[in-house]
Amino acid sequence: MLKITRKTEYALLALGQLSQGNGAAVTNVREISDSHQIPFPVLSKVLQNLSREGYVEPVIGAQGGYRLSALAGSASLMHFLDQMEGPMGIVDCFVDANCEQINACSIRTPMQIIDATLRQVFSNIPLTKVINNDGTIDHIHPGTSAN
């Protein structure tokens, strides 16, 4: 089944902490690491990746750290997951076409429908709904907007 990695989970926690207040405040890696009990070296790499992908902006200097970028406020959860996890699918053949049973597979079409539906749902969830701990996402259905 779909499952995100621990690094993506850490990324969401970090983005959540960075979004507190107005989201423009600078927070350093140690503060985030300590408040969520995330190993500092792992979190440092996660935040570097978030910076490369455009979700956070590094701030250099004695009071440096990271702050949210505009992308974090405008991205969908699906866009974020695709960037953090790479290609995702409900079954492996959606991301790796080397399945030996692909020509005789009787569940490929139903799985494609399920996969497309899940992707649509995740695309309709703004990343901010997750990182701001907004409990309204439990009522999202395919074809509706969560904005």
pTM of the model: 0.82
Which domains are delineated in the chain?
Answer: 6-70 (1.10.10.10), 76-139 (no CATH)
What Å distances lie between residue 101 and 90, 105, 111, CA to CA?
16, 6, 14
**pLDDT, one tens digit for every residue, the chain (147 residues):** 578 899 999 999 999 999 986 767 899 999 999 999 999 999 999 999 999 999 999 999 988 999 999 898 899 999 999 999 987 777 777 666 677 777 788 888 888 899 889 989 999 999 999 998 765 544 444 455 444
| Cα 90 → chain centroid | 17
Whether the CB-CB separation of 62 and 99 falls below 8 Å is answered with: no
